[in-house]
Structure 1
Amino acid sequence: MSSKHSVYIGLGSNLGESLSQLISAICAISELPDTQVQKASSFYQSKPMGPQDQPVYVNAIARITTALDPHELLSSLQKIEHHHGRVRDGERWGPRTLDLDILLYDTETIKTDDLIIPHIGMAEREFVLVPLFEIAPDMIMPDGLPLSVWVSRCSLDGLKRLASINETSTL
């Protein structure tokens, strides 16, 4: 039997029914083989990164355990994105129906052509750090600092809590 890994996944959407898409994605993640969603953060509205002439994002973080290796998980997440209408057109930070990012996979560091863990830029992204802090307030980050220090250093400009998954009537 494969061992289980602790993984944090960032979820984002700014096209279509973003909140519904994130809830659906969390459900789809829970249906992956040998994978359980342990906890999901509240949903947050945030300003888009990159071009500002696009809708605001809805973001969340999910903590999962999985027996999938990092590349199997990446492939599975990309299938979920595709199922939700995600089109990979090469535009960086453009609008999307669904974005699923592996932020942390145990304490592993991975650098391949298609996968970098820990996820690049986490330290500057309030829409990652605040929901991550909500579900893992005692986390120590890859640089050895508490997550609370990372949160205290980021701008919270434009970040707004919308609802927890329990507060949505969709589930």
Structure 2
Amino acid sequence: MSSGLSYKIAVLVFLQNEAGEHLLLLRAKPPNYGIWSPIGGKLEMHLGESPFECAVRETFEETGFVIKSDDLHLFAAIAEKAYEGQSHWLIFLFNCKKVLPQLPPDMHEGKFGFFSRATIDTLPIPDTDRSALWPIYDKYRDRFVMLKANCAPGQPVKVEIEQIT
């Protein structure tokens, strides 16, 4: 059975300041328009870009913060089926070990804020972030976990762990 939906590959990068607050972007365009999420973006697949290369590039493009692959820890990958009924996503989640020195300036994709982990739970964030990404970050950010999630519209998001290392 074919759903006819495209498959997109992306990264999310979890950055923190010296106080341990997380950088989030209030998105000014889809996906996730008008809600807070970690920075990230789609792989430049036509260039053969790796998830690590994409995370380094997106971090610089969105924040101006220069990092290298060694500054990143890949802690999860999640395959999201039928996100917002628009497409399937394979998302690589990175925790940046290098501290972000200051709040980046606002940009065309949105505005930034630093938030404590407890405050994030009170913000407007994507359902998948609330049910999967932040709990996975909390539990596995120093390890690695592979997940899949059914995000089809009209159904509760169902997340399953496929492997933990």
TM range (shorter): 0.3 to 0.5
Report the TM-score when normalising by structure 1.
Answer: 0.39
Report the TM-score when normalising by structure 2.
Answer: 0.40
Structure with the largest fraction of strand: 2
